[in-house]
Structure 1
Amino acid sequence: MYVRSVTARVLALATAWSALALVVIALVISALYAKSSERAFTDLLRAQLYNVINSITIGEDNSLAGNPQLGDLRFSQPETGWYWIVEPLGTFAATPLSSSSLGTSNIQVPSILNVPFNNRYERFYPATDAYGNHVLVAETEVVLDADGRAARFRVSGNLNVVQEDIQAFTRNLYIALVVFGVLSLVVNGLAILFGLRPLDEARRALEKVRRGEAERLEGQFPREVRSLTVEMNALIDSNRRIVERARMQVGNLAHSLKTPIAVLLNESRLLERSQGEVVRSQAEAMQGQVQSYLNRARIAAQRESLLARTEAEPVLERLVRVMRRLNPERSFELVVSPAGLSLAMEQQDVEETVGNLLENAARHAASTVWLSAHASEAPEGSEAGGRQWVEIVVEDDGPGLEPDEIKEALKRGRRLDESKPGTGLGLSIVGEITREYQGELQLSRGERGGLRARLTLPGLARETV
């Protein structure tokens, strides 16, 4: 699964690598220690073997004589697996000698074909004594005198001692590596968090720009991040210049078209009724189309900018005050929740969309118009992208509209009530601006019987942690 967090990704890789490295280290050290312990055990048996050889001689009665002192009490304790044995070879018919730990038992000797002697005339082989102990036997054959009389010398040691030592070492090694691994993971995590802190600071600086609290990415950044912040600041400056240039061009175009259209409208009044009506309707349609495309161009120019920000409550309060002065016979109620709600839109677009809805509601309301704004979910079919959405509802207590009438009302230039003033462009303009911001406009019959207009508009991106 793709991990979006850089910190989590680095921590996961560091943890996986540390765990793998510690496992490999544990296996290698355990194997090396096992080989070293086995080699040391073999060397100990060889040393004990030659101690026994140096302690045995042929006595005056042609018997084996000697009492090896190996300095290990286990050679005198029964059933320990630690034994020494001296057996005469060939025609030398002496009584064998053995340690008191062996008692009356013996250890089977494999054939030379199965376990040959090495170049030092020694051989080592595992065996099992009469008591079930797994032992390692060191053996050699030595000529004891000038007459060629020889004996076989054997010394055995209990292999369980080696295995227990290896297991104890391995257990302690694993415990130490686990503790070391956990501490290393903590230290690595702290180091990674500290090392990636400049990226988090850059993100917070960018959030300030997005929320309109700053115009540029500000702060002290390390060399690796500074180039990124410089490029981001250059992009922000470029966006700002594009927005300003688009606004200037839109203003120039609006100014250049305003006078010719006004002339056409004035001239239409001087013509005959039938001809003047045609010219006037076409001029008004042209005026609406020009305004619509100018709005689209302006919105497209500023929508990609990070600086579009409008506080909802002050703008809506100002619109309500204006509507109260223009419609003293109507009551206007406003509710904004939560406080500080902001829209990712230009202020004039908010005023035009909500203002058209308020004007339409005031025109048809019996006594009261309700306006509310609150946080909402993203409209169906749009990409949330981590941003907040704002729902604005305008409702009146007028006669309302039927579903078929709602479809007609959204068409450009359609007026369902010719007795009321207006051009029929208001709801169409509201829908176009809303769609340009990837929002949604819905009309329905409200609970109070009148028309309920619901706008879903983009808010500011949610701050991520």
Structure 2
Amino acid sequence: MQLIRSLKGRVTTAVAIVLTLTFSLVLISVLSSFNDTVEQAAREQMASNANTMLAAAAKEENGALVMPDTLADRRFNTPGESTLRGYIFDATGKLIWQSISTDNKPIAYTPNFDLEQRVTLSILELEGKSFLAYEVDALLNRHSPGYSFVTIVPAKRYLDIINVFINNLYISISLISILILGFFWLALWWTLKPFRQVSRQLNEIESGQRSYLEGSFPSEVQRLTDSINTLLHSEQKQREKYRTTMDDLTHSLKTPLVVLQSFSNTLKIQSETPDKGVILDLCSNLNTQINKMNQIIGYHLHKSITGQHGLTRQIISVQPIIEDLRDTLNKVYLEKQVSMRIELDPSCLFHGDEGDFLEMMGNLLENAFKFCEREVLLTGFIQAENRKQASELILIIEDDGPGIAADERDLVFQRGARADCQKPGQGIGLAIVRDLVEGYQGSITIETSDLGGARIVISLPC
């Protein structure tokens, strides 16, 4: 079972089956052809012997066949000669003549006597040995009742020829099969060499001895190695990105931590001579710094997850996620009493990571709730211009807020840039959304809504 699980084992099994079937057919065909050839040679040889008896049986007297004392072939005339025996039967199957070589011994043979077929060749078992019996049925003249001229020769010679040929054929096919399998194993070893090289280099990558797959590979393998190198490069960049993010996070938190330390010292002093106003001011500043730290941590966490996407993608239903976000935002902005309409086609599905989609829609809907007056509209549908073009998921978020000016629409996609500084926020939401959308080979645009506010359109491939 382990052999079949390997590529080499599968190919070897397939070749062995093909060779077995091929050589079986060849063996059957060659043996059939050889048997026909040997039989034809035997017929020709024995036909010559039968013609000797036919030539001697030249006349009939008073309806009886007249045969000479001896025949031209001396083997017929030698008593006890086992290499050639002759018999003549009449039309009724009665033995009427036999050669001297038969020693007048009876023969258990029944002639076929068929003037249409005329000639038959069969194998007899006599005295524990195999013989070839050749029968010629003929009429000596128009008034002749007809006779069966039968010659018998030992079959050993012909059977030996067939057996030797079969043995040689089996040996030849076996040797050829071994040679073919040997050459095949060499060819397979050479063919699978790139895969062994890839496997060895992957082991070295796992052990830290190399970073990428290197070398010249066949075109069929090159695509695989390129994909693996792309994933390795992406993973390395991601590690570097995490490292950089942690460094940036550490650096960004240094100032707030120094401020918090200063506040701590001040509180220690105030514990001796409390001043309520100072303490309240310190608490407010502490909350400000804590919120700032939360924003910084959130920013760097988001930064660490925006990047290359994996090869495996999920199929996410859009409707439930939008409804959950709506319910959550309604609680956050309860005082605004926002009315959000959802007009989604049931076929709307997102192909990707659920966390990415939640991050995109969460940022967009939170901005819509934050900047709207009372109304938010989300529309979604699947768009495909033609059969050759891949379908796209189109999502449109609109609000009745102040909107975004045309000259600021590119600016708001930059990290830290904000169009409205009156509202709380750090200005990274739309930048995160754009990074995620572009990571999925999609697009995002900002327009003016018929509701009066911003109209954000995102297109994501399905």
TM-score normalized by the length of structure 1: 0.50
Contact 1:198–1:225 at 8 Å: present in 2 too?
A: yes
Contact 1:86–1:153 at 8 Å: present in 2 too?
A: yes
User: Matches of 2:110 and 2:148 in 1, distance apart?
Assistant: 13
Paired AA for residue 84 in structure 1: G
Higher relative CO (CA 8 A, sep ≥ 6), structure 1 or 2?
A: 1
CA offset digits 1:192-245 (Å, max 9, x no partner): 101221222333344444444444332222222222223333333333333333
Contact 1:117–1:123 at 8 Å: present in 2 too?
A: no
**Distance of aligned partners of 1:209 and 1:147 in 2 relative to their CA distance in 1, 3 Å threshold:** closer
Structure 2 residue matching 1:157: 3-state secondary structure = strand
User: Matches of 2:77 and 2:175 in 1, distance apart?
Assistant: 40
Cα distance, 1:65 vs structure 2: 1.7
Paired AA for residue 14 in structure 2: L
Alignment of 1:191 onto 2:192 = no
Contact 1:45–1:138 at 8 Å: present in 2 too?
A: yes
Structure 2 residue matching 1:135: 3-state secondary structure = strand
User: Matches of 2:17 and 2:124 in 1, distance apart?
Assistant: 43
CA RMSD of aligned residues (A): 4.8
Contact 1:198–1:222 at 8 Å: present in 2 too?
A: yes
Paired residues, number: 295
**Distance of aligned partners of 1:80 and 1:263 in 2 relative to their CA distance in 1, 3 Å threshold:** farther
Alignment of 1:164 onto 2:160 = yes
Structure 1 residue matching 2:100: 3-state secondary structure = coil
Matches for 1:362-373 after TM superposition, within 5 Å: none
Q: 1:256 matched to which residue of 2? A: 252
Structure 1 residue matching 2:108: 3-state secondary structure = coil
Alignment of 1:25 onto 2:26 = yes
CA offset digits 1:19-77 (Å, max 9, x no partner): 44334433443344334433433443334222321243349998312644458x59847
Cα distance, 1:150 vs structure 2: 5.2
Alignment of 1:117 onto 2:114 = yes
Contact 1:122–1:138 at 8 Å: present in 2 too?
A: yes
Q: 1:57 matched to which residue of 2? A: 58
**Distance of aligned partners of 1:147 and 1:12 in 2 relative to their CA distance in 1, 3 Å threshold:** closer
Pick the aligned partner of 1:217 from 213, 216, 220. 213
User: Matches of 2:125 and 2:206 in 1, distance apart?
Assistant: 80
Pick the aligned partner of 1:180 from 161, 176, 180. 176
CA offset digits 1:232-277 (Å, max 9, x no partner): 333333333333333333332333233323422432232266999x
Contact 2:71–2:77 at 8 Å: present in 1 too?
A: no
**Distance of aligned partners of 1:118 and 1:105 in 2 relative to their CA distance in 1, 3 Å threshold:** same
**Distance of aligned partners of 1:213 and 1:105 in 2 relative to their CA distance in 1, 3 Å threshold:** same
Alignment of 1:233 onto 2:229 = yes
User: Matches of 2:52 and 2:122 in 1, distance apart?
Assistant: 19
Q: 1:200 matched to which residue of 2? A: 196
Flag structure 2 segments of 5+ consecutive residues without an equivalent. Answer: 311-462
Cα distance, 1:126 vs structure 2: 4.3
Matches for 1:301-340 after TM superposition, within 5 Å: none
Contact 2:91–2:113 at 8 Å: present in 1 too?
A: no
Alignment of 1:10 onto 2:11 = yes
Q: 1:37 matched to which residue of 2? A: 38
**Distance of aligned partners of 1:13 and 1:118 in 2 relative to their CA distance in 1, 3 Å threshold:** farther
User: Matches of 1:175 and 1:118 in 2, distance apart?
Assistant: 44
**Distance of aligned partners of 1:179 and 1:69 in 2 relative to their CA distance in 1, 3 Å threshold:** farther
**Distance of aligned partners of 1:200 and 1:57 in 2 relative to their CA distance in 1, 3 Å threshold:** same
Cα distance, 1:169 vs structure 2: 1.5
**Distance of aligned partners of 1:108 and 1:101 in 2 relative to their CA distance in 1, 3 Å threshold:** same
**Distance of aligned partners of 1:9 and 1:102 in 2 relative to their CA distance in 1, 3 Å threshold:** same
CA offset digits 1:271-327 (Å, max 9, x no partner): 266999xx99xx99x99xx99x999x989x99x9xxxxxxxxxxxxxxxxxxxxxxx
Cα distance, 1:84 vs structure 2: 1.3
User: Matches of 1:8 and 1:254 in 2, distance apart?
Assistant: 55
Paired AA for residue 249 in structure 1: T
Paired AA for residue 98 in structure 1: Q
User: Matches of 1:207 and 1:75 in 2, distance apart?
Assistant: 87
Contact 1:247–1:298 at 8 Å: present in 2 too?
A: no
Pick the aligned partner of 1:268 from 264, 267, 277. 264
Contact 2:118–2:138 at 8 Å: present in 1 too?
A: no
Q: 2:98 matched to which residue of 1? A: 98
User: Matches of 2:91 and 2:225 in 1, distance apart?
Assistant: 91
Cα distance, 1:184 vs structure 2: 1.9
Paired AA for residue 10 in structure 2: R
**Distance of aligned partners of 1:4 and 1:148 in 2 relative to their CA distance in 1, 3 Å threshold:** closer
Contact 1:107–1:127 at 8 Å: present in 2 too?
A: no
User: Matches of 2:55 and 2:182 in 1, distance apart?
Assistant: 59
**Distance of aligned partners of 1:242 and 1:49 in 2 relative to their CA distance in 1, 3 Å threshold:** same
Structure 1 residue matching 2:163: 3-state secondary structure = helix
User: Matches of 1:199 and 1:49 in 2, distance apart?
Assistant: 70
**Distance of aligned partners of 1:244 and 1:89 in 2 relative to their CA distance in 1, 3 Å threshold:** closer
Paired AA for residue 85 in structure 1: Y
Q: 1:155 matched to which residue of 2? A: 151
Contact 2:245–2:304 at 8 Å: present in 1 too?
A: no
Flag structure 1 segments of 5+ consecutive residues without an equivalent. Answer: 305-465
Contact 1:86–1:151 at 8 Å: present in 2 too?
A: yes
TM-score normalized by the length of structure 2: 0.50
Contact 1:55–1:66 at 8 Å: present in 2 too?
A: no
Contact 2:113–2:147 at 8 Å: present in 1 too?
A: no
Contact 1:124–1:136 at 8 Å: present in 2 too?
A: yes
Cα distance, 1:189 vs structure 2: 0.7
User: Matches of 2:227 and 2:29 in 1, distance apart?
Assistant: 49
